[in-house]
Amino acid sequence: MAIHGIHLKEIANRKQFYSVWNARTAGGLICGGHAPLKKFIELFKKELLWCVENRCYVKDQPMFSVIRAENRKLFAPYYGDYQDIFTGFRKYTCHSHMGTGLALFQLQRCENVGNMEDVLIIGEQVWKSITSFTAQEQQRIFDHLKDNGVLVACIGNMSMVPEIAKMEHLFRVQFTYNQLEETKRPRDFEEFKESFEEKDKKASINWQSYSEYLNCMKSAGFTKADIVWHLWIRSIFVALK
pLDDT digits (tens, 9 = 90+) for 171-214: 889 988 888 888 888 888 888 888 888 888 777 677 788 888 88
Give mean pLDDT, residues 59-74.
87
Q: How confident is the model at residue 12 (pLDDT cuts 50, 70, 90)?
A: confident
Q: Which long-range contacts (CB under 8 A, 24 or more apart) does 68-74 make?
A: 68/2, 68/6, 68/24, 68/25, 69/6, 69/7, 69/8, 69/10, 69/11, 70/8, 70/11, 71/39, 71/43, 72/117, 74/36, 74/39, 74/40, 74/43
What is the pLDDT at residue 237?
87
pLDDT, mean of residues 90-119: 62
Residue 236 has pLDDT above 60, yes or no: yes
Percentage of the chain modeled with pLDDT above 90: 8
pTM for this entry: 0.51
